[in-house]
Amino acid sequence: MRETAEDPADGAQGSGEATVSVTRPGSAGSRGPKGTFSPAVRMRLRRDPAGGGGAVAGSGFPGAAGPSAHPATPNAAAAPADPAIRLATAIRIVLLGVTAIIQPGLGLAPLLRHHPAYQPPVVADLAYGVLAGVTALCALWVLRRKPIPAAVAAGGAFVVLLASSAATAALPPDSFFREPHWSFGLVGWHLLVLLADRPPALLTALAAHTAASVTQFLLGGTPTRTELGDAAIVLFGVTVFQLAIAGLIRLLDRRAGEAAAAAAERERLATRAALAAQAGRDLRTGFAEQLGATLPLLAGLADGTVDPRTPDARARCALAAAQLRRLFAENDDVPDPLVHEVTACLDVAERRGVAVTLAVSGDVVEVPAEARRELTGTVLTALAAARTRARVSVLRTPELVRVAVVADGRAEPERQSRMEAQWRPE
Amino acid sequence: MATRVTAVVVDDHPAVRAGVAYWLAAGDPPIDVVAEGEDVKAAWLGAGATADVVIFDLHLGGPAPAFGDLRRLAEAGRRVVVYSMRSDDDVALQCLELGALCYLTKAEGAGHLVEATRAAAQDRPYTPPSLAGALAGDRSETRPALSAREAEVLVEWFQSESKEFVAHRLGISASTVNSHLERIRVKYARIGREAPTKAALVARAIQDGLIGVDDL
């Protein structure tokens, strides 16, 4: 991109000429602020395929456990790796399986054996069918590792409680909490599957279920002490077991939520660390670029490999001084940074005894720092080579910013040399 | 040329007046400075009243540009070369609008001043690089339409300060560069307020064959 030197060898002009094109449309956009953030983008691209498969699971159940565990970003892609989250998802499938096995395994046999005794049998059949249907419905979401929608959970719980009451009402006499009462223990499992994501609703539904059964039991006639005792044992056994499961789910969900939050935090920290590292690298390269020849020159002067008595060393010093001066000017807060920085470049040449004139035309155009550096870089190079006089011109139009330097050369004083650099805004 | 070109120098700094007089006298052929003064009276009275060219400092002792004096001189048909220490695009454009034949900044050297004075004496415009920069950067609504080549010439002339350079870069001859610059000035002379100096400039361009009567 540098110096398309167009040296008129015809010699008719007695002048040399070089053009530096900084024509880089949108250089501000593509290499400026975005460049700083590119690591994050790269990182995301790299991680997405890895976590993509599990992302569905990650966004499901742990999300229901608490708002903090709702990372909607690809950051959550790292979450399924955590065993707690996988376990929380798996336990729902296990619950569904348990329900699906218990219903035919423990419920079907008593239903068939006591079938004629139900009052009427068709109600018991219907209740059995409805419960099986609810299990199948839940499978639609659970097997896909998605949370059951609130409407389905509420409706399902209501239907399940209704079926339970109906089945209990259709029981033959004196069979509460005994073998023909297959629905009592089973319904709790359905409620667990339906309401696993909503602990308060689950507890309420379980309580309602138990209360309804007990009420129906008490209304069915005055039970004997033996009957009461048997009922209490069944009630206790079933309810405590199901409550324990509910507690276990709650515990797992909380762990999963914490794990998801921790994973998101880890990801966030990793991103920040990567960004900070990139910013640090940018800063260092930036400084190295801006300091240009200064550091090697200082090193050379220090260890004696550069002799300050030679014109070459002095020219290098002049250039380095001008670069430093420009670097300082870059951080000044002025309304017209480009001209300010060009003036800084002039300053050093003037101190060297070069008569420099500056001509500026056009209104202030906002030029990004990087483009300014390219433009002033040309001025620096040209002025460093100037011997006695130079003219720097800055032309600014909304379509074009052009900096040109006409100077007499060190090597051939009679030849005017010309360098220019231009930058086009978007 | 039968008679020598005469000039009056209006500037509030004696050193500048002396310097300008020396530069003009050293020109080839020399230009006579017949009067000088620290204010515009010098251009209206005595020998100054009949001088061919008025070399006029726009900032006479005050921070405000003396646009009123410039306007009155141009309306009287005086050929004015504005010689200012300020390189402000807007000021330069306004001076042309008022009828100045040239706007020179004091950063520009003797060569430009002599050429501008000589051109002005013949009702020809002279466009030094800084003025070319002002014209190239002109984005006002009233600016005349310039051709792409004319715009290029302005930019190159502003940034290289050498007509040979411009000619070389654009692949045209140095005299073509000059006629482009003059044609641009004719375009500028035909916008805005009327002034005898602007009319004379256009008439001179027709006489020189630079533009045709049909172009008007």
User: What is chain A's mean pLDDT, rounded?
Assistant: 76
How, if at all, do strands A4-5 and B32-37 pair? unpaired
Q: Do A406 and B158 touch (CB under 8 A)?
A: no
* Confidence (pLDDT) at B25: 92
Looking at the partner chain, which of A8, A15, A395 has a beta carbon nearest the beta carbon of B136? Answer: A395
Please give the residue of chain B at the shortest CA–CA distance from A362: B137
Looking at the partner chain, which of A13, A15, A393 has a beta carbon nearest the beta carbon of B158? Answer: A393
Per the structure block, which two tokens stand in for B78? 């005086």
- Contact (CB, 8 A) for A253 and A68: no
Chain A residues whose CB is inside 8 A of the B84 CB are: none
Per the structure block, which two tokens stand in for A214? 């007990």
Question: Does A267 lie at the interface with B, CB-CB under 8 angstroms?
Answer: no
The answer to whether the Cα torsion of A268, A273, A277, A282 is positive or negative is positive
Q: Do A361 and B137 touch (CB under 8 A)?
A: yes
- A128 vs A113: CA distance, rounded Å: 14
* pTM, to two decimals: 0.54
pLDDT band at A77 (very low <50, low <70, confident <90, very high): very low
pLDDT tens for each residue of A301-326: 899 888 888 888 887 888 788 888 88
Q: Do A17 and B159 touch (CB under 8 A)?
A: no
Q: Which residue(s) pair with A421 in the sheet?
A: A20, A403
Please give the residue of chain B at the shortest CA–CA distance from A19: B169
Residue that is written with structure tokens 């004997």 in the block: A224
Q: Which residue(s) pair with A419 in the sheet?
A: A18, A405
- B65 vs B53: CA distance, rounded Å: 19
Looking at the partner chain, which of B89, B159, B162 has a beta carbon nearest the beta carbon of A393? Answer: B159
Q: Which residue(s) pair with B72 in the sheet?
A: none
Going by C-alpha positions, the residue among B89, B92, B22 that lies closest to residue B58 is B92
Q: Using the predicted structure, report yes or no on whether residue A78 has a pLDDT greater than 70.
A: no
Per the structure block, which two tokens stand in for A209? 């279920």
- A10 vs B151: CA distance, rounded Å: 27
Chain A residues whose CB is inside 8 A of the B162 CB are: 13, 15, 406, 416
- Contact (CB, 8 A) for A61 and A88: yes
Burial annotation B47-78 (CB, 10 A radius, 16+ → b, else e):
ebeebbbbbbbbbbeeeebbeebbbebbebeb
Q: Using the predicted structure, report yes or no on whether residue A1 has a pLDDT greater than 70.
A: no
Q: Do B137 and A396 touch (CB under 8 A)?
A: yes
Q: Give every CB contact of residue A360 below 8 A, 6+ residues apart in sequence.
A: A339, A393, A394, A396, B87, B133
* Confidence (pLDDT) at A214: 86
Q: What share of chain B is helix, strand, coil (3-state, %, to 5)?
A: 50, 10, 35
Is the ipTM, as predicted for this complex, more than 0.85? no
pLDDT tens for each residue of A266-287: 999 999 999 999 888 887 777 7
Q: Give every CB contact of residue A287 below 8 A, 6+ residues apart in sequence.
A: none
Q: Using the predicted structure, report yes or no on whether residue A64 has a pLDDT greater than 80.
A: no
pLDDT band at B81 (very low <50, low <70, confident <90, very high): very high
Bigger pLDDT: A276 vs A51: A276
Smallest CA–CA distance, residue A325 to chain B, in Å, is 24
Of A32-36, A164-168, A255-259, B27-31, least confident by mean pLDDT is: A32-36
- Contact (CB, 8 A) for B183 and B159: no
What is the percentage of chain B residues whose pLDDT exceeds 70? 98
Smallest CA–CA distance, residue B171 to chain A, in Å, is 12
Question: Does A4 lie at the interface with B, CB-CB under 8 angstroms?
Answer: no
Q: Using the predicted structure, report yes or no on whether residue A416 has a pLDDT greater than 70.
A: yes
pLDDT tens for each residue of A161-218: 999 888 888 887 777 787 788 888 888 899 999 988 888 899 999 999 888 888 888 8
Residue B61 zone, left/alpha/beta (φ > 0; ψ -120 to 50; rest): left
Distance of CA A189 to the CA centre of its chain: 38
Grouping H, G, I as helix, E, B as strand and the rest as coil, residue A118 is: coil
Q: Do B155 and A15 touch (CB under 8 A)?
A: no
pLDDT band at A10 (very low <50, low <70, confident <90, very high): very low
